[in-house]
Amino acid sequence: MRLTEDHDDFRKSVRHFVDTVVNPCADDWERDGAFPAHDVFPKAAEVGLLGIEYDPAYGGLGADHSYQMVACEELGRMASAGVSMAIGVQSMMATPSLAELGTHEQKVAFLAPAIAGEAVAAIAVTEPDTGSDVARLRTRARRDGGDWVVSGRKMFITNGAQADWVCLLARTSDEGGYRGISQIVVPTTTPGFTVSRTLDKLGNHASDTAEIVLEDVRVPVANTIGEVGRGFQQQMQQFVIERMSAAYTTVGQCDRALEQTRRFVAERSVFGTPLASKQYVAFRLAELQAKVDLLRSHNRETCEARMAREDITRMASVAKLTAGRLVREVADTCLQFHGGMGYVEETWTSRFYRDARLASIGGGADEVMLQVLARLDGLPA
Ligand SMILES: Cc1cc2nc3c(=O)[nH]c(=O)nc-3n(C[C@H](O)[C@H](O)[C@H](O)COP(=O)(O)OP(=O)(O)OC[C@H]3O[C@@H](n4cnc5c(N)ncnc54)[C@H](O)[C@@H]3O)c2cc1C
């Protein structure tokens, strides 16, 4: 895939947003354990970041998927992975099903404010007892006339403490397994919806991660996205986009980390010569950049396939698995080459090392990607 001058211009505007709105505040937000999403999202919306592929009738840019890829690569260059993840949740995890399958009324009420950055959205799938095995979720929506009455718990919900609505996955029948599950938009002001706690994490400190309790939360059946009972399948499609968002973002994260480390090893002298002149150091950094280049190429091919409306389940699983492992390897090596200063909080490497660990767990663990791939290869995983 060849990118055009239009892509370059869009990339510059996203980089400007990252450099002027996010990076100057990143340290403060990391320390505070959250960033002010209601202040930052309208500024992200001005660049079009929250609705790149969505219908202009609801405030989207109406651009193709390649612009989403470019945006994610730039978001990966943020000094705070937590903010980049929060924007990713808003634009590529909580809203794709709504944009694809929602009714006009739902889009006016929930999608348009999310695209404008006026509403913060979250995706609520994981529960305390089940994450990887989505089909075992227990949150139950019981039908009562024109309403769902929802009870259950959701765990690790990004943006959860600040969200105005969540895209909730709940069981709407007793069929069991992946049958009888639905995606429902739940406004967080609905009585019975509470954030029971926010979680103190290893990394991604600027992003709030909530545990949510739902006790007899009453929402209209009209808030169901797409088809009642098809929520599992719809969520699997939404996951494919989420996984590509992680893989696109990883390229930006690794590019930035390797650029900064190349600059550092050129300046730092060890045993009388610049660190960069040691063949091991130079080769190691060159090899990691080559791996990032390969991921970038794979991402671009996947992006093209998605634009051609092909099934990208396999390509997205390869991308997510590769990205999760690669960003951890890059983070570990960059920290190592910075020596003792790499291990202290004032150097960017320590935050990057902590943040990178999530990539192999969130949005489908490495082993879940391997399970998908093994099954596609005909193995009985
Ligand atoms: C910071 C953060 C933000 C998150 N944000 C969200 C969010 O916004 N919304 C949301 O719904 N969820 C969110 N999650 C949840 C995340 O998607 C889950 O943590 C993840 O899917 C793993 O689920 P689990 O934690 O329940 O682990 P489990 O499912 O219990 O798995 C534990 C471990 O078992 C291994 N494993 C899993 N399956 C297999 C297998 N088939 N074969 C072999 N080994 C296996 C893996 O190593 C896995 O890490 C977030 C998590 C974190 C930490």
Cα dihedral 163, 198, 216, 106 in deg (nearest 10): 20
Q: Mark whether 214 and 242 lie in a shared domain.
A: no
Is 362 near ligand 1, meaning CB less than 6 Å away? yes
pTM of the model: 0.96
Distance CA 43, CA 20 (A): 10
Domain count, the chain: 3
CATH number at residue 291: 1.20.140.10
Q: Mark whether 282 and 372 lie in a shared domain.
A: yes
79 in any annotated domain: yes
Which residue ranges of the chain lie beneath pLDDT 70? Answer: none
Helices vs. strands in the chain: H and E counts, helices first = 14, 10
381 in any annotated domain: no
Domain boundary among 120, 139, 161: 120
Q: Mark whether 180 and 202 lie in a shared domain.
A: yes
336 in any annotated domain: yes
Closest ligand 1 atom to residue 94 Cα is 8
Distance CA 209, CA 201 (A): 8
75 in any annotated domain: yes
Q: Mark whether 84 and 113 lie in a shared domain.
A: yes
Domain boundary among 202, 229, 256: 229
Q: Mark whether 277 and 177 lie in a shared domain.
A: no
- pLDDT, one tens digit per residue, over 23-49 is 999 999 999 999 999 999 999 999 999
Closest alpha carbon to 121 in 240, 29, 41: 41
- Choosing from 125, 130, 132 the residue with most ligand 1 atoms within 8 A of its CB, the one to mutate for a pocket test is 132
Contacts of 369 (CB under 8 A, 6+ apart): 243, 317, 318, 320, 321, 324
> 367: which strand partners?
none
- Choosing from 87, 156, 239, 357 the residue with most ligand 1 atoms within 8 A of its CB, the one to mutate for a pocket test is 156
95 in any annotated domain: yes
Catalytic positions are 242
User: 81 with 254: CB under 8 angstroms?
Assistant: no
Radius of gyration of the chain (CA): 21
Q: Mark whether 224 and 342 lie in a shared domain.
A: no
Distance CA 290, CA 213 (A): 45
Distance CA 353, CA 332 (A): 6
Distance CA 70, CA 98 (A): 22
Q: Mark whether 145 and 87 lie in a shared domain.
A: no
Distance CA 143, CA 141 (A): 7
Closest ligand 1 atom to residue 154 Cα is 11
Report CA-CA distances (Å) from 237 to 94, 367, 369: 12, 19, 14
- pLDDT, one tens digit per residue, over 43-91 is 999 999 999 999 999 999 999 999 999 999 999 999 999 999 999 999 9
Q: Mark whether 240 and 349 lie in a shared domain.
A: yes
Residue 381: per-residue pLDDT? 76
Q: Mark whether 64 and 153 lie in a shared domain.
A: no
Q: Mark whether 16 and 71 lie in a shared domain.
A: yes
Token duo for residue 112: 């348009």
Question: Whose Cα sits closest to atom 2 in ligand 1?
Answer: 156
Token duo for residue 151: 């009870």
Contacts of 185 (CB under 8 A, 6+ apart): 98, 106, 110, 165, 166, 167, 168, 219, 223, 225
Is 158 near ligand 1, meaning CB less than 6 Å away? yes
Q: Which CB contacts under 8 angstroms, 24+ apart, belong to 283-286?
A: 284/333, 284/337, 285/258, 285/261, 285/333, 285/337
Q: Mark whether 261 and 350 lie in a shared domain.
A: yes
CATH number at residue 115: 1.10.540.10
Kindly tell me the sign of the dihedral angle through the C-alpha atoms of 89, 93, 96, 98. negative
Distance CA 342, CA 334 (A): 8
Distance CA 349, CA 326 (A): 15
Is 156 near ligand 1, meaning CB less than 6 Å away? yes
Amino acid sitting at position 25: C
Q: Mark whether 222 and 106 lie in a shared domain.
A: no
Is 89 near ligand 1, meaning CB less than 6 Å away? yes
263 in any annotated domain: yes
Q: Which H or E element spans position 11?
A: helix 5-17
Amino acid sitting at position 222: A
* HSE-up of residue 177 (Cα within 13 Å, Cβ side): 2
Geometric angle at alpha carbon 212, from 209 and 217, rounded to 5°: 150
CATH number at residue 164: 2.40.110.10
Is 370 near ligand 1, meaning CB less than 6 Å away? no
Token duo for residue 30: 């990391």
Residue 25: give the domain boundaries. Answer: 5-120
Distance CA 356, CA 323 (A): 10
Report CA-CA distances (Å) from 191 to 214, 224, 229: 9, 18, 24
- Choosing from 126, 134, 200 the residue with most ligand 1 atoms within 8 A of its CB, the one to mutate for a pocket test is 126
315 in any annotated domain: yes
The secondary structure of 268-289 as a DSSP string is -EETTEEGGGSHHHHHHHHHHH
The secondary structure of 207-226 as a DSSP string is S-EEEEEEEEEEEEGGGEES
Domain boundary among 207, 229, 251: 229
81 in any annotated domain: yes
